[in-house]
Structure 1
């Protein structure tokens, strides 16, 4: 069981749910602008999309370990497949079934979300095939995360009648993309005896750009300004501590940054919560509470789950 949980990277599952919820909430904000308020909060589609995101994430991890089993046999013999705990074909079958189920569940919400889920599968495959060959594999890895809020956003839009409506989610997607690229570069080069200085500067620059992108997104959606300022503080404090105090060993740094993914979401969800809290419409207060609570709960859950199985 521990081997399966490690393969699934179960400690990162809460952040997947948080990423999807950001998109769902911003889709609801767009409905408010279009004066198409949903009286009862869309918990059912949000739940389906969260399940779809988790299935895609876990399926991608099984696919990654299946693809790497020969390399792991030489370099990481402690992993499940090199130890002979499971047949390799089982991992391949689980990967196909889980990712196929993820696309199906997302498609059951609507066609647009299903298409984005298919795009996530595409980038999972690109990353898995490429990641041992080039440092540029951080790009498809970032795309996998960046599309999670897009999947939630397109599910809740009143309609997609112009590219501008889709572009509105791009600052949030770009913020996650930059964060995952910065995290991945840190993981790839921090283990070197003398990592290139330019890579360290680039990694930290990307992590800083994450906050810039999210601030831009908050401005586009006209979210509460004071809450936007407060929302960035937990992210900056946690990321700064990871880079300053927990750089070594590298797995500790990577695990800390992975646990911090929901804090990226909180930079949006905290001002969203403040905005909904002042809305008198039915269901707005519930949306405010959930939006406020999900990121810190996902953050704490990730840290607790890392005691059960490694995040990386």
Structure 2
């Protein structure tokens, strides 16, 4: 008897679809920063479409592979994720992951035909894929594998910038700070099932984007920084500060919600206030999406 097709909601849960807009804001910020720093025109509409298709497919494939590789652990620990609940089979998830990776490869190859130096694009995309696989293979066994997760977001910045040109120096700094932020948040997430905060060190890592202030120019950047910092402070107070009211899962969701604000700061530095405003719009939308589909 054939397995029924999983529901759309099951696929959205597997893909953590509520976080997908943060991939788009990452790509927007990195590409426009590369455009500004290199004095080049932004990508064409076709290049944008191919870049977002590739980034989205790689993100979704990574999320599906995470559930697939964690399926045995989830079953042993009664973790209510779609495979463990029997809502989808491992074979279906493996097939969907393969299809997404093929889609990403096709989009990247198409994009490589539109740019003068495709080596950077293909190399950074290969790095991103390698980091996705490394994290999914190792994260249950090695606590510090969180840096692979941070590396994924950093490599996404590099890949997006490389859709236009070789990543310029400011892009590398922004990628490093974004990756450090995500690594800190992922350290916190390792305690999600215990609802504990073992150390404050991960929270210090999450403050790494403050270093962007060294290059601050104009009021708009400071508004974005204060909004980001205020959101993190409020989230800490609500979800982590008081042990009796601690909710690590809610803090992780809030930390993911803050990602577009980091992109908004980057775009402010690059001289794209409208891009920053678009990222603020995504920031305001994310809590509603997370109510619909859990972000973790």
TM tier relative to shorter chain: 0.7 to 0.9
1:268 aligns with 2:266: yes
Task: Give the 5 Å matches for 1:40-119.
Answer: 42-110=44-112, 111=118, 112-119=120-127
Query: Could you say what the CA RMSD is over the residues aligned between the two structures, in angstroms?
Result: 2.0
5+ residue gaps, structure 1: 277-287
Q: 1:4 aligns with which of 11, 28, 36?
A: 11
8 A Cα contact 1:13 1:54, kept in partner: yes
Q: 1:300, CA displacement in angstroms?
A: 2.2
Asked if the contact 1:23–1:152 (Cα under 8 Å) also holds between the matched residues in 2, the reply is yes
SS of equivalent residue, structure 1 residue 310: coil
Change (3 A) 1:134 1:47: same
Over 3 Å counting, the alpha-carbon distance change for 1:191 and 1:73 in structure 2 is: closer
Counterpart position of 1:186: 188
TM-score (norm 1): 0.82
Q: Which residue of 1 aligns with 2:226?
A: 233
Task: Specify the alignment match of 1:136 in structure 2.
Answer: 144
The CA deviation string for residues 157-195 of structure 1, in whole angstroms up to 9 with x for no partner, is 2xx4xxxx6433111101111110111112223665764
Secondary structure at 1:47 match in 2: helix
Q: Contact 1:14/1:301 (CA < 8 Å) preserved in 2? A: no
Query: Matched residue of 1:119: which SS?
Result: helix
Match of 2:135 among 127, 130, 140: 127
Contact 1:231 1:271 (C-alpha < 8 Å) held by counterparts: no
Once residues 263 and 233 of structure 1 are traced to their aligned partners in structure 2, the CA distance between those partners, rounded to angstroms, is 10
Q: CA deviation at 1:239?
A: 0.9
CA contact (8 A) 2:196 2:248 kept: no
Q: How many residues align?
A: 278
Which structure 2 residues correspond to residues 115-264 of structure 1 after superposition, within 5 A? 115-157=123-165, 160=166, 166-189=168-191, 192=194, 195-196=197-198, 199-200=199-200, 202-212=201-211, 214-216=212-214, 219=215, 224-247=217-240, 248-264=246-262
Can you list the C-alpha shifts for 1:82-113, whole angstroms capped at 9, x where unaligned?
Answer: 22222211111211221232233123222232
C-alpha distance in structure 1 between counterparts of 2:96 and 2:171, whole Å: 32
1:138-164: CA deviation from partner (whole Å, max 9, x where unpaired): 01000111111111111212xx4xxxx
Q: Deviations over 1:267-312 (max 9, x none)?
A: 111343xx35xxxxxxxxxxx53x1333112212321111211000
| Pairs within 5 Å for 1:29-44 | 29-32=36-39, 37-38=40-41, 42-44=44-46
Contact 2:239 2:251 in 1 (8 A): yes
Matched position secondary structure for 2:291: coil
Distance 1:46 1:293, change over 3 A: farther
Which runs of 5 or more structure 2 residues have no equivalent in the other structure? 1-7, 113-117, 241-245
- SS in structure 1 opposite 2:295? coil
Instruction: Give, in angstroms, the shift of residue 73 of structure 1.
Output: 1.1
The whole-number CA distance in structure 1 between the counterparts of 2:54 and 2:277 is 21
- Corresponding residue for residue 3 of structure 2: none
Determine the C-alpha separation between the residues in 2 that align with 1:85 and 1:229.
46
The equivalent of 1:280 in structure 2 is none
Which of 276, 283, 305 pairs up with 2:289?
Answer: 305
Does the CA-based 8 Å contact 1:183-1:207 persist in structure 2?
yes
Contact 1:14 1:299 in 2 (8 A): no
